[in-house]
Amino acid sequence: MSTDVKKYKDTLNLPKTAFAMKANLAQREPQIQARWEEMSLYPQIRAARKGSPRRVLHDGPPYANGDIHMGHLLNKVLKDIVVRYHTMRGFDAPYVPGWDCHGLPIEHKVAKDLGSKAASMSFPEIRELCRTEALKWVDIQRTQFQRLGVSGDWANPYLTLDPRYEAGIMDVLADLVEKGFVFRQLKPIHWDIHDRTALAEAELEYAEHTSPSIYVNFPITSALPADFGPGPWHAMIWTTTPWTLPANVAIAAHPDLEYAGVRYTDPESGQTVQTLFAAQLVEKVMGLRQITDYAIVARCTGKDLEGGSYQHVFIDRAGSFVLADYVTVEDGTGLVHTAPGHGADDYKTGLKYHLPVISPVDASGRFLDTDGVPADLVGLQVFAANPKVIEILKSVGALFHHFNFRHSYPHGWRSKKPVIFRATAQWFIGVDRNNLRENTLHAIRNQVRWLPSWGQARIEAMVGQRPDWCISRQRAWGVPIPVLFDERNDYHHLTAESVRFYRDLFAREGADAWFTRPIADLIPPDLDTDAHPVEHLQKGTDILDVWFESGSSHRSVVREPSYDSGPYPAFMYLEGSDQHRGWFQSSILTAVGTTGQAPFETVLTHGFVVDDQGRKMSKSLGNVIHAVKATEQYGADVLRLYVSSMDYAEDVRMSERGIKEMSDAYRKIRNTFRYLLGNLEDYARFDPESVDPATLHPIDRWALYRLNTVIREATAAFDAFDFYRAFQRLYQFCSVDLSSFYLDVLKDRLYAEHPTGPERRAAQFVMARIHSSLARLFAPIMPHTSEEIWDLIPDSPSKTPSVHLAPWPEADPSFDDPRPGGLDWDLFRESREVVFRDLEKLRAAKVIGSNQEALVTVGSPAPEVLASLDHLRSHFERMFIVSDVVLADTRPDDAIDLPDRKIWFHVQKSPHPKCERCWNLRPTVGQDQEHPTLCFRCSQVIREANTSPPQT
């Protein structure tokens, strides 16, 4: 390189920036987070928004157990995007994170670690170990959530084991007791025989299970209509739970169904049997054993059977025929074995007909020696007892048919094992008492915005169909139901006044006081100790359902001044779709029951995280993405960008390949910012107000028009919580409008014009506006990268110490003209596309090395179009980034056409010499004797630079 060439190169305004091309997020993000902590950024944000309208996203508490997973990451990032966006829009949007700290998994873990020692330890000792275990995971998860860049009051989270929170739970319980919603009753509920505790609907998962399907003939002992003739007659029932037959007390028929008396010859015994079941099912039932020797000898309706009696097949017990509308002929026999101690519908029927509630199994699901249970069953667990029950039925000649089948069956959400229905005395919230169900449905329909909208129908159906809510659990680690029992009778003391007495106690000492203090210290003021002396009182041992605990957060957190999370109701709850039957439902039931109002204004629901084939992530499939590991490998901002790109309304597909593709997208965005910053290095040395917007080039005004569009569209997407649309619009703006067009076209102006000349300053004016706006538009999604680039924006009086303290960008109406300069920008885009194709061919053929070495001829067969092209020539030159564009009226054979535009283009190498400074091939090269190797523009820039005072 000659000395002159080197000298000329040094006069170019080449990009220069401290913003590295390599993100190195694994190291850089923790540094940025440390700076946020050092500068007390979150308190600064809170102070800056004090007095502004509040929009509080109330955090649903994750369970304090185990490292965070991709579902946690999805949820927390979505929440953080909402909070950061609303903060930048000027709202007071605090975020108080929370944790669900009680419950079975923690207790299980402690018991497992203790081994045989657990049996000899007291409740308080077990609870202390559970507390330590929960707090350990709170600290671990807090660190992991903070590593994702989630902004919030991490130093003061809400914990369900905090005495303040436990007192709030008691407040909710007291109000519900006072309003008559809470009652205790012997009633069948889902029971986990492995964890030995009651379960709510929200704690069930459905999985495949093998059950025996049996058809049993019960001897009828009452008279049937006369046309049935002489007996004996039987009633054939069908069930998939043989183990519940010891609790059978009735057979249910549908009042309007027709039942047939069938006489058949048993193909094995040869005996003639007479039995009764639904007329519609005769052929199907007989076909189970290929019986062809049968006849229908009589018919009746279900109403004719009501009040009749039968004899239990292997227990000395009489049963009765009852009617029920839920009986169908879809399966079975149209006669339903009824055991009120082991079924929800059975129980309701039992209440109607005053049937006994028999449930001869203990907490572990083993048969007790009671209620006539055969000796062969005593001590057997219910599922193990099924084959024995079938043997007994065979031995007494009552079994018509049996086979095994696979079906969906409820399992415990923690044990992952099949559950049973078991009647025990439990505490319930009556959803049909005092119009709670009706009022809750009204709140769902009229007080809440559901996003996506299908969430409303989903929770309506669940609330509309749900049974009474069983709120008691038989465990140690939780908040107690503070009830005192008189051991001499069935008296139990639970009143609004007594619960509020315990609320005050728990606020001072925590719920542990129930387990550590003697009963004498736990006597509420309204308990008559004359009628119920202290020496005859016992503490209740049940704890509250953890869903009741978390569902009380609207009282413990949102309404309580001790947390910065009001006012009530919260602006938003945001959780996964499983929370329609979980936290959303427990929250709205307790809120409506206590306040008459929904606890949230908006409920936003996201789907589950699945792999790229739509499968649930599991270790056995090897498709698990570990959130902590992925954060360290790719960086939080890449994962946050990935989350923002998803339509979370459905299940969210995540994969290593998807994350890598998003890493590429992140690099493109980062490189866009790097280019902007590289050309704004000297921007702080001049006053941007010195640029008159009226003097901007049409393409500059077009870029600002496109910026206005992206600000408005991204803002609308954020407002609608459609973050994927915001991501798509921002990414398209960076990659298409900027990198592939505007910034590409700007290079010659930025690099070769005088550093302080009007051409370059105009470009920098536009780039600075774009940079400032984009940094803020990306801030909710990529908080670390946005902070990094904000730091490098030239200082100005309006620049805030952090991008997260800056206001949201606003569109400037003065740049709303979509056709600045009256130019057709679609024409430029179309022309650029076809010309670039031919330029690429010339490069591939080694005819030219870059666009700058090309000359483009443009013409038209239409004289009026050709005449209009003259004023477009200079614009074409900039758009194509070529040395020269000339007009011609004669079309070369190898020209390319835009037929709809009546325009053709011809691309060739320019015949002119190359400027040693800007590398354009121009006819003015050599015309300046002082700088014979430069074009006219570059020689002028050099001359001005030599006479201008140095920049400071």
pLDDT score of 935 more than 60: yes
Distances (CA, A) of 606 to 534, 603, 629, 725: 52, 10, 23, 15
Mean pLDDT of the region 485-504: 95
DSSP assignment letter at 279: G
Give the integer Cα–Cα distance in Å for 857 and 842: 15
pLDDT score of 951 more than 60: no
Residue 776 has a pLDDT of 97
- At residue 286, the 3 state secondary structure works out as helix
Tokens 């002489």 belong to 230
pLDDT digits (tens, 9 = 90+) for 747-774: 999 999 998 888 898 999 999 999 999 9
Element (H, E) at 192: strand 182-192
Residue 7 has a pLDDT of 81
Alpha helix positions (H), 645-802: 656-678, 698-719, 723-732, 743-752, 758-778, 783-792
Tokens of 587: 């929250």
Distances (CA, A) of 218 to 61, 245, 290, 318, 398: 52, 11, 21, 10, 7
Residue 133 has a pLDDT of 95
Mean pLDDT of the region 926-936: 92
pLDDT score of 152 more than 60: yes
Band (pLDDT 50/70/90 cuts) for residue 952 is very low
Tokens of 491: 């008296």
Band (pLDDT 50/70/90 cuts) for residue 108 is confident
Radius of gyration of the chain (CA): 39
Band (pLDDT 50/70/90 cuts) for residue 475 is confident
Tokens of 378: 């005593």
pLDDT digits (tens, 9 = 90+) for 653-676: 999 999 999 999 999 999 999 999
Percentage of the chain modeled with pLDDT above 70: 98
Residue 688 has a pLDDT of 63
pLDDT score of 948 more than 80: no
Residue 297: CB atoms within 10 Å:
13
pLDDT score of 683 more than 80: no
Residue 530: CB atoms within 10 Å:
6
Distances (CA, A) of 24 to 709, 784, 785: 32, 12, 11
Band (pLDDT 50/70/90 cuts) for residue 695 is confident
The Cα angle at residue 723 between residues 547 and 154, in degrees rounded to 5 = 50
Which amino acid makes up residue 411? Answer: H
Mean pLDDT of the region 878-900: 91
Residue 811: CB atoms within 10 Å:
18
pLDDT score of 652 more than 60: yes
Mean pLDDT of the region 209-218: 95
Give the integer Cα–Cα distance in Å for 782 and 776: 10
Residue 949 has a pLDDT of 54
Which residues share a beta bridge with 603? 450, 573
Task: Give the torsion sign (CA, 126, 128, 133, 138).
Answer: positive
- Report the phi/psi class of residue 719: left, alpha or beta, with left for phi > 0 and alpha for psi in -120 to 50: alpha
Please give the model's pTM, rounded to 2 decimal places: 0.87
The answer to which of 511-520, 585-594, 875-884 has the lowest mean pLDDT is: 875-884
Residue 686 has a pLDDT of 61
CA 455 to chain centre: 12
Band (pLDDT 50/70/90 cuts) for residue 6 is low
Mean pLDDT of the region 277-285: 96
pLDDT score of 703 more than 50: yes
- CB distance 640 to 149 below 8 Å: yes
pLDDT score of 433 more than 80: yes
Give the integer Cα–Cα distance in Å for 87 and 54: 9
Work out the mean pLDDT of the chain and round it to a whole number: 92
pLDDT score of 498 more than 50: yes
pLDDT score of 414 more than 60: yes
Distance spanning both ends of the chain, measured CA to CA: 30
Residue 1 has a pLDDT of 43
pLDDT digits (tens, 9 = 90+) for 836-866: 999 999 999 999 999 999 999 999 999 888 8
Mean pLDDT of the region 916-944: 92
Residue 617 has a pLDDT of 84
- CB distance 57 to 574 below 8 Å: yes
Band (pLDDT 50/70/90 cuts) for residue 868 is confident
Question: b/e per residue, 889-914, with b = 16+ CB within 10 A?
Answer: eeeeeebeebeeeebbbbbbebebbb
pLDDT score of 950 more than 60: no
Residue 500 has a pLDDT of 97
Mean pLDDT of the region 607-622: 86
Q: Tell me the DSSP string of 421-480.
A: EEEEEEEEE-TTGGGHHHHHHHHHHHT-EEESTHHHHHHHHHHHH---EE-EE--SSS-B
Helices and strands in the chain: count of H runs, count of E runs: 30, 31
